[in-house]
Amino acid sequence: MTALLDTLRADLPEDAVTVDPALMDNYRYDWARDPAAGVPLAVVRPRTTAEVQATMRWAAANRIPVVPRGAGSGLSGGSSAVAGGIVLSMDRMRSVVIDPASRVAIVEPGALNVEVKAAARAHGLWYPPDPSSFEICSIGGNIATNAGGLCCVKYGVTTDYVLGMDVVLADGAVVRLGGARLKDVAGLSLLKLFVGSEGTLGVVTRAVLRLVPAQKPPSTLVATFGTVAAAAEAVVAITGQLRPAMLELMDGASINAVEDHISMGLDRSAGALLLAQSDVGGAAAVNEIAVIANACKASGAREVFSTDDPAEGEAFAVARRAAFPAIESRGSLMLEDVGVSIPLLPALLAGIEDIAARNDIEIPTVAHAGDGNTHPIVVYNAADPESVARARLAFDEIMALAIALDGTITGEHGVGRLKKDHLPAQLGPEAMALSHRIKDALDPLGILNPGAVL
Amino acid sequence: MTALLDTLRADLPEDAVTVDPALMDNYRYDWARDPAAGVPLAVVRPRTTAEVQATMRWAAANRIPVVPRGAGSGLSGGSSAVAGGIVLSMDRMRSVVIDPASRVAIVEPGALNVEVKAAARAHGLWYPPDPSSFEICSIGGNIATNAGGLCCVKYGVTTDYVLGMDVVLADGAVVRLGGARLKDVAGLSLLKLFVGSEGTLGVVTRAVLRLVPAQKPPSTLVATFGTVAAAAEAVVAITGQLRPAMLELMDGASINAVEDHISMGLDRSAGALLLAQSDVGGAAAVNEIAVIANACKASGAREVFSTDDPAEGEAFAVARRAAFPAIESRGSLMLEDVGVSIPLLPALLAGIEDIAARNDIEIPTVAHAGDGNTHPIVVYNAADPESVARARLAFDEIMALAIALDGTITGEHGVGRLKKDHLPAQLGPEAMALSHRIKDALDPLGILNPGAVL
């Protein structure tokens, strides 16, 4: 092994290769904390595309698995280390350059989402994709998972903002795809194929991201409903009339978890709460909030509050944001990410309630309701093997339920290693076979993130 | 050949296979009128996915080329018939079903873009992609080329609206990808790979399209500038502050062509004209038009007109729409589709002017300026071989210029057969090799639209 690593070290700067077990431990897990994560042979931390190429050439020559890694905030185990493999951490490649006239950011994959947003803001521009983890997640990871967030109900997901990238392939070749061009249909859509591929097809070392004009200060509305079905009816009515800049849902269990944690005076008997924002500004925002309020009332909302004061709106949003810490205080969590079409949200949430009851476990749910993307949060006691077993069962049952409702097992977190076994049930044998054909064509040795996704 | 076709006929309804030369002639060409289009063996017009599968199974067994075809309005020869091959016309698969609660349209590929728009409108919904040919182009063709249009400066292109599809692969297997889910990252982005693949990877037989709330009546602004550079400066200023619903440019040559054709009182001495629309409605639209007007004035606009009356705005838009018929009256046309980043628009348009002068040929240009996507229109005399030769040279030089400016040879029309020879210069050998690996993995016999794109 030492001789093998010496050949890698020969092609890289002295400090690029880490084998210290204590240091490597920081690169073994992502937020899924997969207990099956292996002990890697080494962690490589390149500073340039050329160093990524050298690593991949060495890995290909020696058939060593490589797990590309951004900030490690993934929730599906997509960057869990593989025993005897390389963790290829992009945390030293973090430059962000804004071209305001072309309205693009040229970024390295280790740059955090929040850093890109801040750099764009300095030019009056905005990078919309906003996963809840935006302060700690990397752009490379966002591209790998095609990350979403709260504003994608109006502004789309990561793939909608990737105009170009440099990708190092499994054999070490580098390919430049796309560029600072808003429309380009020359050749196959290779760019889009790499977005969401979770490090299984190549390693992104540079991305050209589309920026848009800064968002206006939002107006905010909160409404409570007796049932999830009533709230979902409001969501259908709202999204058929306008595009809200945010449309989040909390179910009764998550409302109560928040009230238990920080008393905010939320209605504990409510079956659901909707949080909506409009960012069109001025009189138009007043109109949009009125349309949203009317849709809520027509769907039987119990109470509707709204404000055009961004600070007050932010206070309303605190409840939604408090959901995770509130639920975290109740035990260990398995975070789901299932989605369905909006009209099926009530069926999904009723099914989740049933799964919780049958397995005698708590599953509060928050949702990006405007996209039909939900985060049921399975709460369990990590010290109690029986609780863990029940939680695992519930976690699996929720994915099966989503598939039965013609939905998806993951709307924005990725398949990683945690959901891999459920992917064939969603995609079917033909799409799985097609995926393997693509994977085999691009990574014939199977060294890129083996064990993830496929 | 008769025996061979008999085996195909055996698997299809009686009227699905046409060999009548006169009838087949209607399916040999698209709007590129490629003189190299071959005489096909037969035209197949399936009514179901199963019939498409039967055709592909037969073609794979007999290694017969298949050219999938929508409405034949393509501009790059992507559906020119191949000698001895099958033209697989989707013109009998045209159903459109709207699911208003899920906000999707479920369509067959032969449905026209305008038919999808109309069906959506009946439910207060909107299918945004709007190629200029929207009244005569098919959704299948739109997906094949990842078609754009005038509103994509704000609303994106076809790929942004494709949520799901059924695709028949080269071997006749059918794969269902995606569905009525707004966010879904389960597995590789296979869906996006087929969008823009111009019939070289599979045949789309059903698509699930995202719909959005109906657009509000637009407010419209027209501004004239002394130079293209001044207009481009305005475009950069506008798009840095807001997202116009339309932002079109006409250069001096196209202004004069329109004035020659229908006298509208346009300023013949203007170097460029911008046509912008806002669709946010009410006071917000007044604000947006004011921002656009100020940006135009600050960039040295000579004259600025605006209106919030949609009918008057439509009259303003007539000049832009009159450009094609006006230019068509001057001779035969080769329609370009090159794009660059917005700050490079002046360099691109100056270069085109230079190419026109050097080749002693007219090349008026209209552009989706907000996307940096331009349509230089090479005018020539089809009866004069020397004029044809100069036009071809100019056509090629424009693509070379776009590539030199880090741009694209096609923003929305596709590569087809007309631009195939120029693709390697844009993509480079690595991306070409990668494209071939994907193509070979999905169509190992090379029977799907051979000669197009790659």
Q: Write out chain B residues lying below 8 Å of A442, CB-based.
A: 434, 437-438
Q: Between chains, do A102 and B152 touch, taking CB under 8 Å as contact?
A: no
How do residues A213-225 score in pLDDT, each as one tens digit? Answer: 999 999 999 999 9
Asked which of A156-160, A377-381, B326-330 is least confident by mean pLDDT, the reply is B326-330
Is domain B216-328 annotated with CATH 3.30.70.2190? yes
Other residues' Cβ atoms within 10 Å of the Cβ of residue A177: 28
pLDDT level of residue B148 (50, 70, 90 thresholds): very high
Q: State the ipTM, two decimals.
A: 0.97
Q: Between chains, do A213 and B240 touch, taking CB under 8 Å as contact?
A: yes
What's the length of chain B? 454
Query: Per-residue DSSP letters for A210-257?
Result: E-EEPPPPPEEEEEEESSHHHHHHHHHHHHTT---SEEEEEEHHHHHH
Q: Between chains, do A434 and B427 touch, taking CB under 8 Å as contact?
A: no
Q: Between chains, do A283 and B284 touch, taking CB under 8 Å as contact?
A: yes
Residue A19, min C-alpha distance to chain B (Å): 32
Is domain A216-329 annotated with CATH 3.30.70.2190? yes
Other residues' Cβ atoms within 10 Å of the Cβ of residue B303: 13
pLDDT level of residue A450 (50, 70, 90 thresholds): very high
Q: What is the pLDDT of residue A263?
A: 86
Rounded distance, CA A414 to CA A179, Å?
25
Q: Between chains, do A196 and B189 touch, taking CB under 8 Å as contact?
A: yes
**The two three-digit tokens of residue A97, written as one number:** 């350059």
Residue A382, min C-alpha distance to chain B (Å): 27
Helix (H, G, I), strand (E, B) or coil at B43: strand
Rounded distance, CA A177 to CA A184, Å?
11
Q: Between chains, do A373 and B183 touch, taking CB under 8 Å as contact?
A: yes
Rounded distance, CA A140 to CA A112, Å?
8
Tell me: pLDDT of B433 over 70. yes
How do residues A341-371 score in pLDDT, each as one tens digit? Answer: 999 999 999 999 999 999 999 999 999 999 9
What's the length of chain A? 454
Q: Compute CA A17 distance to the chain's CA centroid, rounded to the nearest angstrom.
A: 29
CATH code for the domain defined by A331-446: 3.30.70.2740
Of B184, B195, B410, the CB nearest to A186: B410
Q: Between chains, do B343 and A102 touch, taking CB under 8 Å as contact?
A: yes
Find the residue in A nearest to B155 (Cα): A155
Contact predicate A127/A120, CB 8 Å: yes
Q: What is the pLDDT of residue B115?
A: 98
Q: What is the pLDDT of residue A294?
A: 98
Tell me: pLDDT of B236 over 80. yes
Which residue intervals of chain A bear CATH 3.30.465.10?
Answer: 96-213
Q: Which amino acid is at B190?
A: L
Q: What is the pLDDT of residue A408?
A: 98
DSSP single-letter state for residue B177: E
Q: Between chains, do A157 and B283 touch, taking CB under 8 Å as contact?
A: no
How do residues B355-373 score in pLDDT, each as one tens digit? Answer: 999 999 999 999 999 999 9
CB pairs under 8 A between A and B: 283
Mean pLDDT of B389-403: 97
Contact predicate B32/B418, CB 8 Å: yes
pLDDT level of residue A319 (50, 70, 90 thresholds): confident
Q: Which of B150, B134, B144, B128 is nearest to B371 (CA)?
A: B150
Residue A23, min C-alpha distance to chain B (Å): 32
Of B413, B435, B441, the CB nearest to A190: B435
Q: Which of B327, B394, B392 is nearest to B354 (CA)?
A: B394
Pick the CATH number of A96-213 from 3.30.465.10, 3.40.50.1820, 3.40.50.280, 3.90.330.10: 3.30.465.10
Which residue intervals of chain B bear CATH 3.30.70.2740?
Answer: 331-440
Tell me: pLDDT of B1 over 80. no
Q: Is beta strand B373-380 parallel, antiparallel or unpaired with respect to B332-335?
A: antiparallel
Mean pLDDT of B125-143: 96
Contact predicate B345/B247, CB 8 Å: no
Q: What is the pLDDT of residue A223?
A: 97
Q: Write out chain A residues lying below 8 Å of B197, CB-based.
A: 188-189
How do residues A23-60 score in pLDDT, each as one tens digit? Answer: 999 999 999 999 999 999 999 999 999 999 999 999 99
Contact predicate B221/B125, CB 8 Å: no
Of B173, B243, B428, the CB nearest to A176: B428
Q: Which amino acid is at A219?
A: S
Q: Between chains, do A190 and B368 touch, taking CB under 8 Å as contact?
A: no
Question: What CATH architecture applies to the domain A2-89?
Answer: 2-Layer Sandwich (3.30)
Q: What is the pLDDT of residue B111?
A: 98
Rounded distance, CA A210 to CA A179, Å?
10
Q: What is the pLDDT of residue A1?
A: 63
Which residue intervals of chain B bear CATH 3.30.70.2190?
Answer: 216-328
Helix (H, G, I), strand (E, B) or coil at A168: strand
At the topology level of CATH, where does B331-440 sit? Alpha-Beta Plaits (3.30.70)
* Whole-number percent of chain A with pLDDT over 70: 100
Q: What is the pLDDT of residue A270?
A: 97
